[in-house]
């Protein structure tokens, strides 16, 4: 089967290849209406800039046309700072920027106050449920808050202190009935009553020795009724004029009071304060 010698196309028998036939050019009428000028440099090759280190080859170097270049010899104006710290100002980024929230310090202070209140409440709970027993006694107080036990401790310390003072200073107070107390009046004067003269000048030393024997004695206000060297009656209270008295000897259901007959049980529903017991003891001594 024959082939064309110029283009190599396969031909049929007796077929002439049309590759040698030149195309008939159609007349161009467009030039009559438009002045077609050739574009300068259209056929010139494009020169690509050498890419920087790590750049992509094959692409021309891009120029930033966001701002006009200044005339030769003048310094370009500084670019506007955007809201995110860059050098290219973006007005849309400024509009959409999220403002910083205020009031952070106030929230921290509020949280600290709440924590302190919770700690205070926890401390009170520990004191109430652990340091107090079911009867409401203050376990942190001397003798676990048992006022009668504290009255007995003060009585024993006072008898030992009086014995020391009398022996060291050769004092004889037999047959004397008097009251020793750590309470003073509004003018700061001691409320001791009927104390023998030879013992008065050692009253400060006497009180110091009581605290030496019972370091918790100053926790309470107390009154002590002595008959000679023996303490016949002692009464203690947290305050001189507040309810809540412990005595020795104790009463059956409550405290005792000191009368001319000695320590007798107080009325069951009596609401005496230490000041009342002190006045009744003075009346009994005067008796």
67-125 per-position pLDDT tens digit = 556 555 555 555 555 444 555 555 555 555 555 555 567 788 889 899 999 999 888 77
CB atoms within 10 A of CB 41: 8
Same-domain check for residues 167 and 263? yes
Asked whether residue 54 is assigned to any structural domain, the reply reads no
Asked whether residue 281 is assigned to any structural domain, the reply reads yes
Report if pTM > 0.85: no
Same-domain check for residues 157 and 226? yes
- Identify the domain boundary among 140, 157, 187: 140
Residue 281 in this model has a pLDDT that exceeds 90: yes
Asked whether residue 155 is assigned to any structural domain, the reply reads yes
Helix (H, G, I), strand (E, B) or coil at 178: strand
Asked whether residue 172 is assigned to any structural domain, the reply reads yes
- Cα–Cα distance, 286 to 146 (Å, whole number): 31
Same-domain check for residues 153 and 278? yes
Asked whether residue 13 is assigned to any structural domain, the reply reads no
pLDDT at 15: 77
- Identify the domain boundary among 97, 122, 140: 140
Cβ–Cβ < 8 Å for 273, 240: yes
pLDDT at 79: 54
Asked whether residue 83 is assigned to any structural domain, the reply reads no
* Structural domains counted in the chain: 2
Same-domain check for residues 129 and 170? no
Element holding 259 (H helix, E strand):
strand 256-259
Residue 251 belongs to what domain range? 146-286
pLDDT at 196: 92
Same-domain check for residues 156 and 281? yes
Same-domain check for residues 153 and 134? no
Asked whether residue 77 is assigned to any structural domain, the reply reads no
Same-domain check for residues 160 and 282? yes
Same-domain check for residues 131 and 161? no
pLDDT at 6: 79
Same-domain check for residues 117 and 169? no
Element holding 198 (H helix, E strand):
helix 197-200
Same-domain check for residues 135 and 199? no
pLDDT at 135: 43
Q: Rounded mean pLDDT of the chain?
A: 75
pLDDT at 41: 52
Same-domain check for residues 251 and 121? no
- Identify the domain boundary among 122, 140, 158: 140
Asked whether residue 11 is assigned to any structural domain, the reply reads no
Same-domain check for residues 153 and 277? yes
Measured at the CA of 158, the angle between CA 157 and CA 162, to 5 degrees, comes to: 120
């Amino acid at each position: 089967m024959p082939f064309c010698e110029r283009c190599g196309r396969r031909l049929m028998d007796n077929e002439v290849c049309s590759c040698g036939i030149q195309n008939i050019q159609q007349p161009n009428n467009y030039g009559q209406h438009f002045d077609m000028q050739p574009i300068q440099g259209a056929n010139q090759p494009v020169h690509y800039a050498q890419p920087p280190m790590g750049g992509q080859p094959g692409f021309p170097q891009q120029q930033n046309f966001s701002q006009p270049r200044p005339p030769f010899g003048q310094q370009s104006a500084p670019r506007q700072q955007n809201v995110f710290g860059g050098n290219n100002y973006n007005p849309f980024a400024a509009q959409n920027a999220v403002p910083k929230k205020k009031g952070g310090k106030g929230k921290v202070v509020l949280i600290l106050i709440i924590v302190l209140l919770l700690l205070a409440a926890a401390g009170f709970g520990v004191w109430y449920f652990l340091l107090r027993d079911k009867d409401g006694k203050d376990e942190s107080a001397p003798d676990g808050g048992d006022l009668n036990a504290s009255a007995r401790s003060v009585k024993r310390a006072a008898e030992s202190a009086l014995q020391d003072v009398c022996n060291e200073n050769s004092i004889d107070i037999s047959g004397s009935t008097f009251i020793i107390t750590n309470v003073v009046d509004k003018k700061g004067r001691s409320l001791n009553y009927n104390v023998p003269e030879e013992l008065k000048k050692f009253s400060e030393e006497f009180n110091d020795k009581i605290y030496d024997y019972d370091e918790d004695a100053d926790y309470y206000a107390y009154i002590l009724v002595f008959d000679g060297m023996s303490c016949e009656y002692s009464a203690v209270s947290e305050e001189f004029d507040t309810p809540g008295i412990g005595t020795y000897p104790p009463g059956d259901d409550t405290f005792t009071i000191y009368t001319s007959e000695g320590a007798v049980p107080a009325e069951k529903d009596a609401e005496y304060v230490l000041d009342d017991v002190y006045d009744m003891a003075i009346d009994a001594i005067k008796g």
